[in-house]
Amino acid sequence: MKRMRLAGKILGVVVVVYLVAIGALYAIMSQTPARLAAIVAKMPGPLFMVLPFERLWFHARGGTLRVGDAAPDFDLQTLDKSGRVQLFSFRTRQPVVLIFGSYT
């Protein structure tokens, strides 16, 4: 009977630690990309096999935009670094197509 209680307590502690780790990972994933990368780089690899990393990632980084919503405003430096371009400046002048991806 004592062993069953001890096993139950150990299991309870493991579950609480697991849930706290999931909450901490979710909070980390909600940080800015630079901060997230710095923290994740220091995490041990096996941790990603134990925690539901992918599901947390999609939930934490999913955003709130839906089809048909206006793109959020942002500005970027031009390729020749001579100035900056702001998305909002095109909103009333012409349609804009945003393509995100890699060309390599």
- Beta-bridged to residue 5, according to DSSP, are none
Closest CA to 39 of 56, 26, 50: 26
In a domain, 54, yes or no: yes
Does the global pTM surpass 0.75? no
In a domain, 73, yes or no: no
In a domain, 78, yes or no: no
In a domain, 37, yes or no: yes
Angle in degrees, 0-180, between the axes of helices 53-60 and 2-29, rounded to the nearest 10 = 40
What digits encode the pLDDT tens for the residues 10-33?
Answer: 999 999 999 999 999 899 888 888
What is the predicted pLDDT for the residue at 104?
Answer: 63
- Domains of the chain: total: 1
Domain that holds residue 24: 2-60
In a domain, 52, yes or no: yes
66 — phi, psi (to 5°)? -125, 165
What digits encode the pLDDT tens for the residues 62-71?
Answer: 778 888 888 8
